[in-house]
Amino acid sequence: MTDLVNVALNAEGFMIDPNQWTKEIAEILARQEGIDVLTPEHWRIIDFCRTTGLASGKAPTLRQITVGTGISTKDLFALYPKGPAKKVAKIAGLGKPEGCV
Amino acid sequence: MKTFLILGAGTAGTMIARKMAAHLDANHWKVIVVDKNDRHYYQPGFLFLPFGYYKEDDVVKPIRNFIAKGVEYIQAEVDQLEPAQNRVTLANGRVINYDYLVVATGTDIHPEETEGLKNGGWHQNIFDFYTFDGAMAMAPAISDFKGGRLVVNVVENPIKCPVAPLEFLFLADAYFTRKGIRSKVDIVYATPLPGAFTKPVASSVLGKILEKKHINVEAEFNAGVVDASRNILASYDEREISYDLLVSIPLNKGASFLGAAGIGDELNHVRVDKQTLQSTQFENIWALGDAANIPASKAGAVIHFQMETAYKNILQHMAGQSLTHHFDGHALCYIETGFDKATLIDFDYTHQPFPGKYPLPGVGPFDLLGETTVNHWGKLAFRHIYYMMMRGIEVPLPTDFSMSGKKQILDQSPA
């Protein structure tokens, strides 16, 4: 059983080093965000965010996730209630998404 | 003969057309600018139309007034861009083969992307002020408003001029106060952001102004559905806000032909290098102004600051040199705060807005992040400066961002 003792987090609970991330850490972070079980649909979004986030160095925005995965905003909110982009970024071990400037 | 093609004759297209006509040899280059409109809008003025402070003549001029000598202007819609073939087809069937292309088609509102926003209430008790038509249509609804809840909602970021929704709120507060009915008007700002603005120090300053004016902020509100039959705006997390008058800032997207051409991002804003403004996919394509996907504010002042670096980079590329001019993301925005006062923010890619003086450090006359009447005069004077700029009269504003004379405040909260 992994825990978060050795995982570096910033003040808002985002992982500082995305390379420290594991699937087990994701499950713990998800529980902290109120998501008890990560279903295959949850994972599809996490995998998308990991792939694009690591390539660009930035967590994807809500719009990038819906366009990139084909999952509707409504469904995304059902899977990750309240702020999906922020929540997925946190669970996927990425920084906070810069939705705006 | 080579062709330098510019799509869009708004702020960015007008400025780059003039720069290129001045720097390219007319014996070898033809500069063409295409726009679907024959009207040039002073877009920052749209904010004042609903309150009757500006009239149509203040914000609308013929495009031809601003097209530089030696530039061919074509009024037509773009049907298709084929970047691999260096070719643009216009809706009237004309085909233009270009050597260099500048995309300056801006960004536009898309109310149809939000469920229910255009069903029923649109231009009855739901309005936008990001289009001339929307701002004009709203004016009678504002002057006839007798009381109730006014909701201003940003659907999704990024948007053109991220401070304009705040200015609208401040002006509405002042308008209804002067009319003597402010106590009957509940003003609500529903925003997807966690606070008033995108940058922490400015967000805190502007948030305090909202509070002082009794404007209620509904933060982290992601608008999902509008139910016009019940006058309800609902978020994806099922919060409901009822409204009597809804002022919507709908989703902003670039022109659809850019998405079809494969050079746009998920919102059809052109993918460019944020410093050189060159397309990341085609080296003879640049995108300027709101059409580009750079992480800077979509605002006219940003275009002014971009122009110096952009045209020099294009000329360097033509000469086979490497691009040495880097845009720093500089933005400068006057923010109307109501009662003939305004504040001012100055920032770039790496520095958020801080308090200080502008443009002369320590002297001003303008106060950064302070609310003054002088700032308000600056805002009003800007319309005349804008038209001068569009006519090619140089305006002496420092292009590069500077931290000199500013008080750097350590972040209390992350960006």
Nearest-5° angle of CA B335, CA B306, CA B4? 135
Asked whether residue B411 carries a pLDDT value surpassing 80, the answer given is no
Interface contact B296, partner A, CB < 8 A: yes
Is A49 tagged catalytic? Answer: no
Best mutation site among A10, A61, A100 for testing chain B: the one with the most B CBs within 10 Å?
Answer: A100
pLDDT at B415: 38
Judging contacts by C-beta atoms under 8 Å, the chain A residues touching residue B266 are 63-64, 67-68
Judging contacts by C-beta atoms under 8 Å, the chain B residues touching residue A62 are 156, 222
E strands, B98-177, where?
Answer: 100-103, 108-109, 126-127, 148-154
State ipTM: 0.78
Q: Tell me the torsion sign for CA atoms B203, B205, B207, B213.
A: negative
pLDDT band at B409 (very low <50, low <70, confident <90, very high): confident
Share of chain B above pLDDT 70, in %: 98
pLDDT at B266: 92
Q: Reduced to 3 states, what is the DSSP secondary structure of residue B409?
A: coil
pLDDT at A99: 54
Asked whether residue B412 carries a pLDDT value surpassing 50, the answer given is no
pLDDT at B410: 60
Which segments of B319-411 does DSSP mark as H helices, in order? 373-390
Judging contacts by C-beta atoms under 8 Å, the chain B residues touching residue A67 are 266
DSSP secondary structure letters along B372-388: BHHHHHHHHHHHHHHHH
Which residues on adjacent β-strands are paired with residue B270?
B264, B292
- Tell me the HSE value of B118 on the side-chain side, using a 13 A CA sphere: 9
Nearest chain A residue to B154 by CA distance is: A100
pLDDT at B47: 97
pLDDT at A100: 47
Ranking A91-100, B18-27, B35-44 by mean pLDDT, the lowest is A91-100
Asked whether residue A21 carries a pLDDT value surpassing 50, the answer given is yes
Asked whether residue B413 carries a pLDDT value surpassing 50, the answer given is no
Judging contacts by C-beta atoms under 8 Å, the chain B residues touching residue A64 are 266
Q: For the domain made up of B110-251, give the CATH fold.
A: FAD/NAD(P)-binding domain (3.50.50)
Contact criterion met (CB < 8 Å) for A100 and B236:
no
The domains of chain B are located at 2-107+254-318, 110-251, 330-415
Contact criterion met (CB < 8 Å) for A64 and B224:
no
User: How many residue pairs from chains A and B have C-beta atoms closer than 8 A?
Assistant: 44
Mean pLDDT taken over chain B: 94
The domains of chain A are located at 18-91
Q: For residue B85, what is the DSSP state?
A: G
pLDDT at A2: 61
Contact criterion met (CB < 8 Å) for B237 and A81:
yes
Q: Tell me the torsion sign for CA atoms B65, B71, B76, B79.
A: negative
CA–CA distance, B219 with A36 (Å, rounded to integer): 26
Q: What is the mean pLDDT of residues B256-263?
A: 98
Residue among B192, B295, B414 minimizing CB distance to A12: B414
Q: Which B-chain residues 219-278 have CB contacts (< 8 A) with chain A?
A: 220, 222, 224, 236-237, 266-267
Given a contact cutoff of 8 angstroms between Cβ atoms, the answer to whether B72 and B20 are in contact is no
Interface contact B77, partner A, CB < 8 A: no
Q: Which of A1, A5, A11, A100 is catalytic?
A: A100
Judging contacts by C-beta atoms under 8 Å, the chain A residues touching residue B237 are 77, 81-82
A27-61 pLDDT per residue, tens: 999 999 999 999 999 999 999 999 999 988 888 98
* Residue B370 to chain A, least CA–CA distance (Å): 21
B51-103 pLDDT per residue, tens: 999 999 999 999 999 999 999 999 999 999 999 999 999 999 999 999 999 99
Q: Minimal CA–CA distance to B219: which of B170, B295, B154?
A: B154
Ranking A66-75, B148-157, B360-369, B398-407 by mean pLDDT, the lowest is B398-407
Domains B2-107+254-318 and B110-251 agree in fold: yes
Judging contacts by C-beta atoms under 8 Å, the chain A residues touching residue B224 are 73-74, 77
pLDDT band at B18 (very low <50, low <70, confident <90, very high): very high
* Residue B265 to chain A, least CA–CA distance (Å): 9
Nearest chain A residue to B115 by CA distance is: A74
Q: Which two tokens stand for residue B139?
A: 């004016």
Residue among A10, A68, A100 minimizing CB distance to B158: A100
Given a contact cutoff of 8 angstroms between Cβ atoms, the answer to whether B98 and B86 are in contact is yes
Q: For the domain made up of B2-107+254-318, give the CATH fold.
A: FAD/NAD(P)-binding domain (3.50.50)
Nearest chain A residue to B329 by CA distance is: A101
* Residue A26 to chain B, least CA–CA distance (Å): 23
Q: Which two tokens stand for residue B361?
A: 């450090």
